[in-house]
A and B are shown apart, each in its own frame.
Chain A
Amino acid sequence: MLRKSQKFASVLALLAALGLATSSIASGHGDEKHNNSRVPVPKHHTAKGEKCVEPTDVMRSNHMEFILHQRDKTVHQGIRTKQHSLKNCVACHADPDTKSVLKNADGSEGFCAECHSYTAVKIDCFGCHTDKANSNKQTMRPIDDIGRKVIANTGGAK
């Protein structure tokens, strides 16, 4: 059995070792060229538009909140405003060639995937939501309620 002082010393040593290990891993805060981490720091290219629907720093910390609240409003109440709509996010942030927010044309990770890989936070959205912009051509075919002739369709086939 260890004496009290020996126990104390060993705990202290363990903490010190942990601290050293963590700091060596976390020291990857260099600039893009010289960072020590194994995961590339996100470059964050945006193809469309001049700015996002919210300021960048607000988006960085709160985009998940916006999406979370919007989804409840859309699904339960049918409120389909564009500002915090996921579809809208994807439409703007998709890579112009692959049309995806998960994968870019040059093989690198797409807009969403970049930061999420870096922070090791799994994205749940794209299991169900398509990660591609404009994935369907929509037909608008309003049929008059009192059975008048169908107004000619305006889009292509689905």
Chain B
Amino acid sequence: MTVSRREFLSIGAAATAGAAIAPGISLIDLAQAKSPEEAVTAAQRWGLLIDTNKCNKGCTACVDACHTENGIDHEQLKGSEATKPHWIRKVEVKDPNTGFEHSLPVMCQHCQEPPCVDVCPTGASFKRDDGIVLVDRHICIGCRYCMMACPYKARSFEHEDITDQKEHAPRGKGTVESCTLCVHKVDRGDGTTACAEACEEEGHRAILFGDLNDPKSEIARTVRAKATRRIREDLNLDNSVRYIGI
């Protein structure tokens, strides 16, 4: 069959346009929030990739953003520093042999074999199907065993009465809490967490959020191409939070 030049060009243009848009369409499908009636499934596995080479020592944008997003206000608390909750913190690491220093944010690592879930007597500490480890604070009795078990000191105990909570982040005295991977934003379809967002705004772009199960997502492609490690890998907990440069 002969194809005229005009036909060839228009078909070609259509094909190219389709090829350009198609990945975008499928990505848009994936990035859209699941509808509110649907339960989460294991089809997705949310995770973070933190590039410590891009992380600045003095910068605490991620910490401030997380605390603002979730209504954590250290000023209104009466207890000592050690009783104040930290869902995320900046850790400075120095190698005493070489002198090399770097800085990185540490939060709940959302392990797939979480020790905190194993030890919780009531099952309040649990792992959602999409990989986010949460505390169901309705059934948390405040025994703090999960805090003993966590290798990353990710969990904090609410030592004081809290007021003016954010609607999407209920928090109260007597229960244990930790980074929720901004589950309220994830379910809403924001496609990011507060810390990742803030780091992006600061221009460092050290924190990347995404679906590790989606081979086309930036995070999945990056961890496939670059060497990444997890803190305390020897414990074999299969953390969803990976780091470059530790």
Contact = CB atoms under 8 A, between A and B. Distances in A.
Task: Note whether A and B form a binding pair.
Answer: yes
Nearest to B28: A144
Given A77-B40, A78-B34, A78-B39, A142 B191 contact: yes
Interface residues of B, number: 50
A80 B187 contact: yes
Interface residues of A, number: 32
B218 interface: yes
Given A136-B166, A147-B218, A127 B189 contact: no
Contacts of B200: 143, 150
A82 B167 CA distance: 14
Contact of A135 (B126, B129, B164, B171): B164
B156 interface: no
B36 A158 contact: no
Contacts of B129: 77
B37 A79 contact: yes
A59 B138 CA distance: 21
A132 B165 CA distance: 9
A144 B36 contact: no
B37 A129 contact: no
Contacts of B119: none
B228 to A, nearest CB: 17
Contacts of B27: 144-146
A123 interface: no
Contacts of A150: 200
A122 interface: no
Interface in A93-146: 127-130, 132, 134-136, 138, 140-146
